[in-house]
Amino acid sequence: MPKDTRPTRYDVLFEPVRIGPKLAKNRFYQVPHCNGGGYRDPSAVVEMRRTKAEGGWGVIFTEQTEIHPTSEITPFIEQHLWDDRDIPALARMAEAMKSHGALAGIQLAYSGINGPNLYSREVPLAVTGGPILTFTSDPVQARTMDRADIRDLRRWFRNAFRRSQQAGFDLICLYGAHGFGILQHFLSRATNQRTDEYGGSLENRARFLREVIEDAREETKGEMAISLRLSLHEAGDLGFSNAEVRDFIEMHGDLPDIWDLAHGTWEACSGTSRFKPEAAQEDLVRGIKALTSKPVVGVGRFTSADEMVRQIRSGILDFIGAARPSIADPFLPKKIEEGRFDDIRECIGCNICVSGDMTGGISRCTQNTAFMEEWRKGWHPERMAPKGRSDSVLIIGAGPAGLEAAHILGKRGYQVTLAETGTTLGGRVARERTLPGLSAWGRVADYRTGQIAPLPNVQTYLDSRLSADDVLAMGAQHVAIATGAHWRRDAVARLHLHPIPTDAAMPVFSPDDIMAGGGPMGGRVVLYDDDHFYMGSVIAEVLVARGCRVEFVCPAVKVAEWAENTLEQATIQRRLMELDVTLHLSKAPEAVLGDAVTLACLWTGRTSTLPCDAVVMVTSRRPDDALYHAVRARNWAAAGIQSVTLIGDAAAPAPIAWATYAGRRYAEELDAPDRGDALPFRREIAELLPQDPA
Distance (Å, whole) CA 67 – CA 157: 7
Smallest separation, CB 421 to ligand ADP (Å): 4
Which position among 292, 421, 439, 620 is part of the footprint of ligand ADP (CB under 6 A)?
Answer: 421
| Residue 348, contacted partner among ligand ADP, ligand SF4, none, CB below 5-8 A by kind | ligand SF4
- Binding window for ligand ADP (CB under 6 A); candidates: 142-150, 608-616, 638-646, 648-656: 648-656
- 426-465 binders of ligand ADP (CB under 6 A): 427-428, 464-465
Between 165 and 270, CB nearer to ligand SF4: 270
For residues 25 and 49, which CB has a smaller minimum distance to ligand SF4 in the complex? 49
Contact in structure between 155 and 210 (CB atoms under 8 Å): no
* DSSP secondary structure of 455-477: -TTEEEESS----HHHHHHS--S
Pick from 26, 117, 311, 351 the residue near ligand SF4 by CB under 6 A: 351
Q: Which of 115, 124, 349, 589 binds ligand SF4 (CB under 6 A)?
A: 349
Burial-class residue 672 by CB neighbours within 10 Å (0-12, 13-18, 19+): exposed
Other CB atoms within 10 Å distance of the CB of residue 302: 23
- Closest distance to ligand SF4 from the beta carbon of 36 (Å): 11
Return the range that interacts with ligand SF4 (CB under 6 A); candidates 138-146, 349-357, 462-470, 638-646.
Answer: 349-357
Task: Report, in Å, the least distance between residue 626 CB and ligand ADP.
Answer: 8
For ligand SF4, the closer CB: 403 or 596 = 403
For residues 87 and 159, the answer to whether their CB atoms sit within 8 Å is: no
Q: Is 167 in the site for ligand ADP (CB under 6 A)?
A: no
**At residue 504, what are phi and psi to the nearest 5 degrees?**
-65, -15
The interface partner of residue 351, options being ligand SF4, ligand ADP, none and the CB cut-off 5 to 8 Å by kind, is ligand SF4
Of these partners, ligand ADP, ligand SF4, none, which one is at the site of residue 523 (CB under 5 to 8 Å by kind)? none
Is 484 a residue that touches ligand ADP (CB under 6 A)? yes
659 contributes a contact to ligand ADP by CB under 6 A? yes
Rounded Cα distance, 387 and 671, in Å: 8
Separation of alpha carbons 153 and 162, rounded Å: 14
Of 100, 23, 2, 10, the closest CA to residue 55 belongs to 100
Instruction: Return the number of the residue (225 or 348) whose C-beta is nearest ligand SF4.
Output: 348
β-sheet bridge partners, residue 80: 66
Q: Any contact of residue 472 with ligand SF4 (CB under 6 A)?
A: no
Rg of the Cα atoms in the chain: 27
396 contacts ligand ADP (rule: CB under 6 A):
yes
Q: Which of residues 365-384 bind ligand SF4 (CB under 6 A)?
A: 365-367
Given the complex with ligand SF4, which of 353 and 542 has the nearer CB atom? 353
Specify the pairing of strand 587-592 against strand 596-601.
antiparallel
Quick check: 429 and 386 in contact, CB under 8 A? no
Which residues partner with 320 through β-bridges?
28, 298
* Count of residues of this chain found to bind ligand SF4 when the rule CB under 6 A is applied: 13
* Cα separation, 331 vs 343, whole angstroms: 9
**CA nearest 468: which of 622, 647, 621, 641?**
641
Q: Is residue 394 involved in binding ligand ADP (CB under 6 A)?
A: no
Which among 446, 434, 364 has a CA at the least distance from the CA of 398? Answer: 446
Backbone angles phi, psi at 541, to 5 degrees: -60, -40
Q: How far is the CB of 356 from ligand SF4 (least distance, A)?
A: 8
Shortest Å distance, C-beta 432 to ligand SF4:
14
Burial class (CB in 10 A: 0-12, 13-18, 19+), 228: buried
Q: Which residues bind ligand SF4 (CB under 6 A)?
A: 324, 327-328, 347-353, 365-367
